[in-house]
Amino acid sequence: MGSKGPNPVPGTAAGLSDIKLFEGLSEGDLQHIAQLCQWRVWNKGSQILDRQSPDRDIYFVPKGSVRIVNFSMSGREVAYATAEAGDYFGEISAIDGKARSANVVALEECHLASLGPEQFRDLLTKHSSIAVRVLEKLASIVRTCDDRIMDLATLSAYQRVYCELLDLSKQDPVRADSWMIYPLPTQAQIAAKASTTRETVARVLSQLTGDGITERKGRTLYIRELDTLRQLADRLSKEEVAAGAE
């Protein structure tokens, strides 16, 4: 993991102009918020927040991207989300003042602006547009958690990997009857999103390739039989369910 220490940098209204939460605010409002923020650069691999951190700030991402993750008791990574340029994170602790719900790691060099909880709550009070967008995000988090709970309760590990591959796939611009995933995430990254092990992902990818459903070329995974993959995500044999229940 890279250096944990951030490097302070000056911030301006221009640095916040692309943050979606602040869309529609005046230049003066952005400049005021920028002056309240602490601005830092984090190196790739740096741990920005952990669940034991006393920090309760909200973070804005003018540049770079971060991964929001948790870890099971056995050390297995469970990926929650990725926050990219224009996004923000840390709003839950900034609102309720309680401990962090996840860890945050820099996926690349990141320029971040952090705002204290008191100042953030003032913004929610003064700007209804910001409050509504935060509420919309919180509602989305609840829905995502509901979907994830349902998947964990009703789908095998194999099915969750199939579903993750379907979510990642896009239509092949060259072949109309083919879909593709590029760049293909690592097996560990897919496992983290599907709440399973890297070994299970490896078995699924090997099975799909052996059956001619997918084809791997470099960092691209071509899905040659999309309908078959969809059927696999919906229905598994008893043997597959038993093998994939990890």
Neighbours of 197 (CB within 10 A): 16
Q: Is the pLDDT of residue 236 over 70?
A: no
- The pairing of beta strand 7-8 with beta strand 110-115: unpaired
Task: Name which residue leads in pLDDT, 84 or 147.
Answer: 84
**82-107 mean pLDDT:** 95
**72-80 mean pLDDT:** 75
d(CA 102, CA 208): 33
Q: For all residues of the chain together, what is the average pLDDT?
A: 89
Residue at 199: amino acid letter: E
> Would you state the CATH architecture of domain 7-152?
Sandwich (2.60)
Of 7-16, 22-31, 101-110, 201-210, give the lowest mean pLDDT range: 7-16
* CB-CB contact of 138 with 145 (8 Å): no
- Which residues have a Cβ under 8 Å from the Cβ of 123 and sit 6 or more positions away? 33, 115, 130
- Which residues have a Cβ under 8 Å from the Cβ of 236 and sit 6 or more positions away? 156, 158, 159, 244
Q: Is the pLDDT of residue 246 over 90?
A: no
Q: Residue ranges of the domains in the chain?
A: 7-152, 155-243
Task: Name which residue leads in pLDDT, 60 or 237.
Answer: 60
Of 65-74, 97-106, 116-125, 160-169, give the lowest mean pLDDT range: 65-74
Q: Which pLDDT does position 1 carry in this prediction?
A: 41
Of 93-97, 152-156, 207-211, give the lowest mean pLDDT range: 152-156
**Which class is domain 155-243?**
mainly alpha
Of 125-134, 143-152, 184-193, 237-246, give the lowest mean pLDDT range: 237-246
Instruction: Read off the pLDDT band of 8 (50, 70, 90).
Output: low
Q: Which pLDDT does position 195 carry in this prediction?
A: 87
Q: Which pLDDT does position 241 carry in this prediction?
A: 47
